[in-house]
Amino acid sequence: MKSLLSTTLLALCACQVHATALPKIDGAGLLEQITTLASDEFEGRAPGTQGETMTIDYLQQQFKKLGLEPGNADGSFLQKVPLVGISSHPTLSYTGKDGKPTQLRFGDDYIAWTVRADKQLDVANSELVFVGYGIQAPEFKWDDYKGADLKGKTLVMLINDPPIPDPRHPKLLDPAMFGGNALTWYGRWNYKFEMAAKQGAAAALIVHDNKTAGYPYEFVVNSWGRENFALRSKTPDAGYPAIPGWLNQERASDLFKAAGLDLQQLKEQAQTRGFKPVPLGIKINLSTLNAIREITSHNVVARITGSDPLLKNEAVVYSAHWDHFGIDESLPGPRTQQIFHGAVDNASGVAALLQIARAYKALPTAPKRTILFVATTAQERGLLGAQYYVRHPLVPLGKTVLNINIDGLNMWGRTRDVELSGMGKSTADELVATVAARQGRVVKPDSNISYGSYYRGDQLEFARAGVPTIYLRSSASKLLNYTAHQFHTVHDTVQPSWNLSGAVDDITLLFQAGYQAAQGKDQPKWKDGAEFQRR
């Protein structure tokens, strides 16, 4: 395969980079690294396992081989991330108005867990209250809570944003309300659980809907129905009530029927500003018995110090999460069929990180600003590695000019479009557009905006901390089959049908966009109205 960067000679010459210094990034090298990270030997790369040890050792070796400096101030490539692993064994029952008790089945009917390091948690005889979409959004004059006293209660809420019809085109959604078809921060599960905690709720259950969510209920079970993690802390995580969880849509409908109510009718009411919380008139008993273990996991961090005496104190941060879901021995078949290999998600992103590091090291002169590479842990457990990093940054966040996050690559061939998740939020868009134009490509918004990719990856933690971000996505048509059949399953493995030419183009783009940010006089800025503008 030809050099990925040979097509960018003119652009880099403008930055006084000589053709002889252009690195070669090819699909073969990329595939080799993905294959290694997604192999049986790495055991699905779960935090706190032998799979983590294998992964962080491999990444340190790769960074050392490339000649990068340790990213941590202690002279190591590792940033310790203190976690607590919690395996919850919940029970859930409620009694309807007819007096009949109903016991739900964990996994099939609901998922519940906790991020609190308590051996047992009980939410007993708690009143169920339907709170619509669980959103307070002053800019939209929207408040689903209306000042209700919800302390100690269990909230039931709907997934995603309320779909508000466009008054001029009733068959379409109003772009002025919650982004129209786009999923906003208000629609994300972590926002909803955080709001429930702020209301003083004891528990919160989100009603899962396959069509609205864009992924099957199986995804919820695989993501939360096993050992979960939290950052180790002396105080409860303010982002969650004591017990968060999900309800299978059919079981949620049954619950509302037991209360003498119709879920569909209440959904329609919840799509109006006048909605008020609806007590269901029934109570729930929800308990979890928890097996707890303390874990020290690791972000792997490397750097290339900037060449400018002043600007080297600022940084462009590339990130990609190394973790996946490990091994599920309850699955049938031999061991290799029990491993969540995570080839696309996210061995591919970590391999891209290594390829970009190699490209920077091949330049005759380091860029003016420092380049930091952060391979994060526990992304699949709630963006915890990125969350820890932004709370303990190795370059001050005020001097971090840009985050470029890589979570999955396009494995299905070249595209003429570049899909940019979160497009319109910051002037970092212009960096992507400039490089894409040199490649003969056009930048477009994420074609699957209803999925809300921008709010699902590590870039979210950087954005919430005020750092502008770049996050590319493959087109919806390319991802459709992968999401339906491989995403977060044991089937996310290296495929012989892959065509890495598209991944190669995107790596080139991300390298050059970051290089421009590292060299430029002006830092990327949030645009007016972006929810993550620095204060």
pLDDT band of residue 23 (cuts 50, 70, 90) is low
Q: Can you give the pLDDT at residue 9? A: 35
Examine the pLDDT at 237 and tell me if it is beyond 90.
no
Give me the chain's average pLDDT, please: 91
pLDDT confidence of residue 142? 97
Q: Is the pLDDT of residue 534 over 70?
A: no
Q: Is the per-residue pLDDT at 243 higher than 90?
A: yes
Tens digit of pLDDT for each residue in 438-490? 999 999 998 888 778 899 999 999 999 999 999 999 866 677 778 878 888 99
Kindly report the number of other CB atoms within 10 A of residue 514's CB atom: 26
**β-strand pairing of 69-70 with 203-207:** unpaired
Q: Average pLDDT, stretch 158-184?
A: 90
Say how many C-beta atoms besides its own lie within 10 A of residue 400's C-beta.
Answer: 24
* Cα–Cα distance measured from residue 228 to residue 90, given in angstroms and rounded to the nearest whole number: 13
Residues 1, 46: Cα–Cα separation, whole Å: 33
pLDDT average, residue stretch 87-114: 94
So what's the pLDDT on residue 6? 37
The predicted pLDDT at position 535 comes to 43
Residue whose entry in the numeric block shows the structure tokens 């970590």: 350
Instruction: Answer yes or no: is pLDDT of 355 > 60.
Output: yes
Q: What is the 3-state secondary structure (H, E, C) of 65-105?
A: HHCCEECCCCCCCEEEEEEEEEEEEEEEEEECCCCCEEEEC
Residues 391-406, mean pLDDT to the nearest whole number: 97
Tell me how far apart the alpha carbons of residues 364 and 18 are, in angstroms, rounded to a whole number: 8
Flag whether pLDDT at 296 surpasses 60. Answer: yes
Spatial separation of the C-alpha atoms in residues 455 and 435, rounded to whole Å: 24
Query: In whole angstroms, what is the distance from residue 115 CA to residue 193 CA?
Result: 12
In angstroms and rounded to an integer, the radius of gyration of the C-alpha atoms of the chain is 24
Mean pLDDT value of segment 330-355: 96
Specify the pLDDT at position 21.
Answer: 40
- Residues 312-326, mean pLDDT to the nearest whole number: 97
Whole-number Cα distances in Å, 98 to 80, 105, 126, 255, 530? 53, 21, 17, 12, 49
Q: 66-86: per-residue pLDDT in tens? A: 999 999 999 999 999 999 999
Q: Categorize the per-residue pLDDT at 24 as very low, low, confident or very high, splitting at 50, 70 and 90.
A: low
List for the chain the helix, strand, coil content (%; round to 5): 35, 25, 40
Percentage of the residues of the chain whose pLDDT score is greater than 70: 94
| pLDDT band with cut points at 50, 70 and 90 for residue 18 | very low
- Say how far apart CA 355 and CA 62 lie, in whole Å: 10
Structure confidence by residue, pLDDT tens digits, 249-295:
999 999 999 999 999 999 999 999 999 999 999 999 999 999 999 99
Residue 497 has pLDDT above 90, yes or no: yes
Average pLDDT (489-513) is 94
Interstrand relation of 417-420 and 142-143 (parallel, antiparallel or unpaired): unpaired
Whole-number pLDDT of residue 183: 86
Structure confidence at residue 2 (pLDDT): 39
pLDDT score, position 418: 94
Mean pLDDT of 377-382: 94
- % of residues, the chain, pLDDT over 90: 78
Residue 228 in contact with residue 86, Cβ under 8 Å?
yes
pTM summary value: 0.87
- Whether 100 has a pLDDT exceeding 70, the answer reads yes
Q: Helix H segments across 199-294?
A: 210-213, 217-224, 249-258, 263-270
Place of tokens 């019809």: 165
- What is the average pLDDT across 182-202? 94
In this predicted structure, the answer to whether residue 8 has a pLDDT above a threshold of 50 is: no
Distance CA 360, CA 514 (A): 10
Measured in whole angstroms, the distance separating CA 227 from the mean position of its chain's CA atoms is 18
Tell me what the mean pLDDT of segment 47-71 comes to: 97
Neighbours of 81 (CB within 10 A): 24
Average pLDDT value for residue range 102-106: 97
Altogether, the residues listed in the chain come to a count of 535
